[in-house]
Structure 1
């Protein structure tokens, strides 16, 4: 899964420092991060125009979803709809530093 970025340094800082993901590889135009086994690529070669209805990167936080949301809010991340409950699990949508759609997911308990 890859997402377009306008500013690679800003995006790398968000994924590394704000989300706490492990950076695997980086070049001027491409960086890879490991999100619990999901590889997220940051692509500076494509125009980063946020779109409605595009791909959403979903991953499970290591801790509880509430704790992860509160921690990221403390780092200035804006959650667009809070945590919502569904029969298939819970989600908490937010955007990265480049306007790409991300969300945390927790399976039903």
Structure 2
């Protein structure tokens, strides 16, 4: 079981100001944009700006079925939420928090034959 850091999600109140900073000051290229969401290519990871006020979130991706990844992580004592469909992409997602309460999300394909 392996997971890779896919993106860091920053929740922001002023999308235009934040987007200008990452685009113009840091010179990052916009890789995806939709209402309330702008994602920048930052090399091996992406930085996403999401409209809202929450703690930053780390998004990980699993290449194996998410159910298998969750089983391995739960065997290590990690508490995870229910597996749900991703709100935009054809994937499944779950999440949890680290010991300090910082949120993370893991996405991956659904196991064959499960709905």
TM-score, scaled to structure 1: 0.46
The structure number with the bigger radius of gyration is 2
